[in-house]
Structure 1
């Protein structure tokens, strides 16, 4: 807790000193060498102080209701694992554009270098932002590019496999269609066999015709016996029975 309090007091003192010098520079509308040195010193102090914060202290600062503090801590938290412990300042540059002073610092950390940009608004007499960005080496950039390339190739390969799978399903669709057509062809002859009952009707008509002839012969014989005449003089005519099926 004492460490946290000391760190906070140190930051407040640095900010207060820098802002006091900034007011003088704003009044004169110039930046002297001493003021540039103060800006650089303030940035270096902030960088080293923030790099020494523990995870618990970072979370406590993130919980504060201050836009500059929370934004700075979020930026540092996003890169601190890639940078490691703070080592030294490589180079610094101070630029003034109207009321805005930009302090650009290249800092060396345990694992890599980082660009730290601290911006100060002289009109409002307050810091507005502090951002960190890792300077990746050529090997790291090549590795990142290689990973991105591999991911892209992997995605394309998966898409090709998926498309091949979908295209492979087309043959099953064609088989299902052929099975349906085959069933339709097999069922068609069965429908043509329906007229078969007509043959049975014709046979029944022939049987009825034979029965009529026998009936006529019996009647003729009976008449001949009654009149004592020979049945040879009778002409037997066939009686055709009306067939209701033929009329229909």
Structure 2
């Protein structure tokens, strides 16, 4: 019973904050805001967010039935509450009216991190329309994220280049595999042509030089009626002319 009462009370408080926001809007016009009006908007925005941060999951889910604004507020808080932690204090808050749309921007400090909360209100309908939360990051966190993105991009480029190089290297094996598959389909086996023996060169029957010289020397000695010791046959040349016809 106590749990149900607490839940109803939390929801009613949050709805009351929203009602006060709308009521404050009735005192504003599209020409601008006075310092007092801007301060009222800023205070009500801070109260709304602080109440939202203290609600349980069941209470937050019960707000979804009240429209798009509550859906955006609940979603923004659930998406960031693990990173932010519990609400603590509020820093600089600004209020700007432009073309019937009132925008309240507040820098809030939570238990773990700071966040910028932006609330927009439709001035003509006197109703809040959207709430957003953006976690503030330090310069070190931004540099760390930028460095991680750079390293990741370089790694992706190198991985793609290595993959392309490997793919190009495999092309020759892919071509060989494709040729083998074509040969299997066609039933033809590629054969290396055997070397065709060249026409045999007729080897001339060479007579032993020493025997040929001896025979010629003997014939010359008989013709000159002398011995083979009186001359020396140094070379033998074949003459194609018919010397017998000349004689």
TM-score normalized with structure 1 length? 0.66
Q: Residue 7 in 1 paired to residue 16 in 2?
A: no
Task: Name the counterpart of 2:91.
Answer: 90
Task: Name the counterpart of 1:125.
Answer: 126
- Distance in 1 (CA, whole Å) between partners of 2:158 and 2:72 is 40
Task: Name the counterpart of 2:139.
Answer: 138
Task: Name the counterpart of 1:110.
Answer: 111
Q: SS where residue 123 of structure 1 aligns?
A: coil
- Distance in 1 (CA, whole Å) between partners of 2:25 and 2:164 is 64
Work out which of the residue numbers 5, 21, 24 in structure 1 matches 2:27: 24
CA contact (8 A) 2:69 2:129 kept: yes
Change (3 A) 1:59 1:15: closer
Work out which of the residue numbers 180, 183, 188 in structure 1 matches 2:190: 183
Cα displacement (A) at 1:126: 0.5
Larger relative contact order (C-alpha < 8 A, sep ≥ 6)? 2
- Distance in 2 (CA, whole Å) between partners of 1:158 and 1:45 is 52
Q: Which has the higher helix share?
A: 1
Cα displacement (A) at 1:130: 0.9
TM-score normalized with structure 2 length? 0.66
- Distance in 1 (CA, whole Å) between partners of 2:52 and 2:195 is 88
Cα displacement (A) at 1:47: 1.2
Task: Name the counterpart of 1:40.
Answer: 42
Q: SS where residue 24 of structure 1 aligns?
A: coil
Change (3 A) 1:123 1:188: farther
Count of residues in Structure 1 that have an aligned counterpart in Structure 2: 187
Unaligned runs of 5+ in 2: 184-188, 197-247
- Distance in 2 (CA, whole Å) between partners of 1:176 and 1:98 is 71
Q: SS where residue 50 of structure 2 aligns?
A: helix
Change (3 A) 1:112 1:183: same
Unaligned runs of 5+ in 1: 190-248
Change (3 A) 1:172 1:29: closer
Mapping for residues 76-87 of structure 1, pairs under 5 Å: 76-87=77-88
Task: Name the counterpart of 1:195.
Answer: none
For the aligned residues, what is the CA RMSD?
Answer: 2.8
